[in-house]
Structure 1
Amino acid sequence: MHLTVSLHNNDGLGPKYDHNFKLSGVVYSHLKKHNTEEAGAIHDSHKRSAFVLSEIHPVSKKTGESWFRMGTSSDYVLKMAGKAFAPSTKITVGAVEYQVTGLTIEEPVVRPGEFVTLSPILLKDKKTNQSIVHDTPGYKDTLEMAINAQIKNYMKVEGTVRVIHFEPQAVRNRTIKGRTVLAQKGRMLLDGEEEQLRFLVNHGIGRSPALGFGMVVRV
């Protein structure tokens, strides 16, 4: 399921360029207010696939409207988030203050075809542990292997998703705990079982989905 949080800034300000990690901190702190024990479990590294976050997407600089989205297959996480980001809730991401103006919960469309990133995908080279992007040789194959490794790790079945085509868009510099990484935005053509594609839509692709990386939706 996807939960979309609509935001408003009175000064017409949009999100700062490098805000992914800051947004994840805000989300976690608000979840923690409603259930400390469960939020603590979500924060554990081995449970990071409990949800995936998009970036904050501006709607209009003139009106100060924007939104972000959370994907999860956990009804409990969805319920926590619904309480944490009820309309009129105020949040501060970086130096930008927002007020929640609306909340929408929907079942995303999932079927083979074209997907687009709502937050950039973070992949790393196994040998160097350095982040890689589209101009790294074999990027598409690495992306496919990462996808199917995630499916096997969390769904306990063999991943069979194929990346038919990847069209790169912007490369983003992002900061995680003081370290800079490169992450890739883009559009991709995916083929596979709907259940496995649904997992990707609800839990993200690549590393650190709960830190604002790897959220994708069907176009």
Structure 2
Amino acid sequence: MILFMGFLTIFSTVGFIVGLIFLVFRKTRKKAYWLVPSTLILAIIGFSFMSKPVEELGEREKQPISSANIEPMDSDAQEDSDEDDSTLIEDGNEDDSTVVHELNWSEKKNDTTFKIDRVGIVKDEMESGAEGAIAVHFVIDNGSKKDISTFPNQGTLLTNTKEQIDASLSLSEDIGGEIMSGAKKEGYVLYPIKKLNDPNDIKSIRVKWDFWPDKDVTTNVQDFDINLTW
């Protein structure tokens, strides 16, 4: 269609010019009377049609790039990116300010299993003025037939550097309180450290917290007092 209109425009223009020439000569003037207006109309139509693609192209260039025009990431590049992310996750830290230790401590009391499988030490100035924190990851699985009460997030920790630290209830995750029969809870308890030169200086900890095998009986309290070394 575009090719046909192109030829039509050219021939109309040529015909219009010929018509103008015919107007000069008396013998051909009658032919020019119908040739000039008809070729002029056809030329105008042709030019109008041929100018549309150019205008539309200009409008498209003005439009913002859509998501459909964005080429997908090369598969090799995507794999490299995924590998980099997984390495950071597995390492558990991006620099020397964070150290993560994987542990395998567990103990079962009154059909309730307590686990500590990870301890992280982070050197970072906190709003309280502490130079870092120790994060202990607890897993509590109540396999007993009674609702229990336990408060790791209100416990106490002692480091090998001889600093005794109370757990921060506001910074810790919701791991303490009532745990219903059959329920399983897990989360981090944070202990702010006032003095911490290097996370690697922490080589062991002692952790204490309370446990009630039956939340309705307040006289049967038991306590955990464990030592963890890496």
TM-score (norm 1): 0.23
Structure with higher Rg: it is 2
TM-score (norm 2): 0.22
Normalized per residue, the structure richer in helix is: 2
